[in-house]
Amino acid sequence: MLVTGGLGFVGSHVCVALAEAGYDIVALDNLANARLSVLARLREIAGRRISFVRADVRDGRALAQVFRRRPVAAVLHFAGLKAVHESVAQPLEYYDTNVGGTLTLLRAMRQHDVRRLVFSSSCTVYGAPESLPLTETHPLRPANPYGRTKMIAEGLIADCAAAWPELKYALLRYFNPVGAHPSGRIGEDPLGVPNNLFPYIAQVAVGRRAKLNVWGGDYDTQDGTGVRDYIHVMDLAAGHVAALARLESQPESFTVNLGTGRGYSVLEVVKTFERVCGRPIPYEIRERRAGDLAQSWADATLAERLLGWRARYGLEDMCRDAWRWQSLNPDGYPERPVSAAETRRRRSRRRS
């Protein structure tokens, strides 16, 4: 298996699940948002060799080299940029990486006859829900550049499969992945100020941030705060293994939501996290942020029907594992991302 973005938050957890399922893995990552130390931890948890290639998914030559060197039965494509607000300020980077990267990957797969693709899509492709829960047939009206890059990449993959029918794909629309591997060795380690609720709460709990800003306390929800479908990253990882198994056993493409099918409000998450970590999480209710939704959750029944998969973990498990990761690694992974130049310097130092 080739896992692009394999050292990132979701990709690293999927590598563990794939290794446990007996797959050989090559992880490819340009370390734009990951640390090299993830690799050693991955190998330690997975208990088997995971090869690593430091490369950009937009680099067709690097992909060709990977495909020439070893047999690759399928690609799981996680490499991408994912911050909604950043995508508004930097649309070119988002289109280049998320759409351009997928295009380059598809071209290399076609050239080397790699016929299976599992793609990380997102519930942001739906935009504001017309009805809840969100089913896969809900219209796609993404409200930001990030969501549009995911929608376009989905269309690009489907168009390629129409022209090259041997290509079979799974488009997995994630809801909100949270939590961490139960060992506490790998987890979510955002650069700078976290964009997402869980890592923010975890950093408040561990004392790295003073308080949580809750954006909007007057939504039409049970307690006025936003409601989202959070899914434990280990459940999400199991969903990828199930998707791959389905592509192997029944070569037909499909699109499914990966969520739990229920939503939790921000304050429910805060209270549960407080209970799990035994510390108060100070928070302040602030004005709503433009573009944020009141509530969103998945209809997760299609995934269950097609893949025989459903989420097993609840909110308490998500908070417990997020807290274990954060408390064992208060400052995240030990090193900051290593630049390509620094990697070259280290290599030549080792050689001399």
Ligand X SMILES: NC(=O)c1ccc[n+]([C@@H]2O[C@H](COP(=O)([O-])OP(=O)(O)OC[C@H]3O[C@@H](n4cnc5c(N)ncnc54)[C@H](O)[C@@H]3O)[C@@H](O)[C@H]2O)c1
Q: Are 116 and 244 in contact (CB under 8 A)?
A: yes
d(CA 35, CA 48) in angstroms, rounded, equals 20
Exactly one of 19, 23, 29, 325 binds ligand X (CB under 6 A); that residue is 29
Distance between alpha carbon 309 and the CA centroid of its chain, in Å?
A: 18
Among the listed ranges 7-15, 158-166, 282-290, 320-328, the one in contact with ligand X (CB under 6 A) is 7-15
* Residues recognised as catalytic: 146
Q: Is 212 exposed, middle or buried (0-12, 13-18, 19+ CB in 10 A)?
A: buried
Q: In angstroms, what is the minimal distance from the CB of 137 to ligand X? A: 19
8 binds ligand X (CB under 6 A): yes
| Nearer to ligand X (CB atom), residue 57 or residue 276 | 57
DSSP-derived secondary structure for 286-352: EPPPTT--SEE-B--HHHHHHHS------HHHHHHHHHHHHHHSTTSSSSPPPPHHHHHHHHHHHH-
203 binds ligand X (CB under 6 A): no
101 binds ligand X (CB under 6 A): yes
145 binds ligand X (CB under 6 A): no
* Beta-ladder partners of 77: 4, 119
Q: In angstroms, what is the minimal distance from the CB of 304 to ligand X? A: 19
34 binds ligand X (CB under 6 A): yes
Q: Are β-strands 227-228 and 264-265 bridged in parallel, bridged antiparallel, or unpaired?
A: antiparallel
Q: Which of residues 81-100 bind ligand X (CB under 6 A)?
A: 82, 97
Q: In angstroms, what is the minimal distance from the CB of 78 to ligand X? A: 4
Q: In angstroms, what is the minimal distance from the CB of 350 to ligand X? A: 23
30 binds ligand X (CB under 6 A): yes
33 binds ligand X (CB under 6 A): yes
- The structure tokens listed for 199 are 């890592």
Q: What share of the chain is helix, strand, coil (3-state, %, to 5)?
A: 45, 15, 40
Spatial neighbors of 192 by CB under 8 A, at least 6 apart, are: none
| Nearer to ligand X (CB atom), residue 254 or residue 333 | 333
- The structure tokens listed for 239 are 């969903």
| Nearer to ligand X (CB atom), residue 100 or residue 184 | 100
The closest alpha carbon to 156, from 211, 212, 105, belongs to 105
Q: Which amino acid is at 80?
A: G
**3-state DSSP assignment of residue 37:** helix
Query: Distances in Å between the alpha carbon of 286 and those of 37, 193, 283, 290?
Result: 37, 17, 9, 12
Exactly one of 120, 225, 257, 329 binds ligand X (CB under 6 A); that residue is 120
| Nearer to ligand X (CB atom), residue 89 or residue 280 | 89
Exactly one of 2, 80, 198, 237 binds ligand X (CB under 6 A); that residue is 80
Q: Which residue is nearest to ligand X (CB)?
A: 8
Q: In angstroms, what is the minimal distance from the CB of 122 to ligand X? A: 3
Q: In angstroms, what is the minimal distance from the CB of 221 to ligand X? A: 20
| Nearer to ligand X (CB atom), residue 79 or residue 318 | 79
Q: Which of residues 151-190 bind ligand X (CB under 6 A)?
A: 174, 176-177
DSSP assigned state of 21: T
Positions that interact with ligand X (CB under 6 A): 4-5, 7-11, 29-34, 56-58, 78-80, 82, 97, 101, 120, 122, 174, 176-177
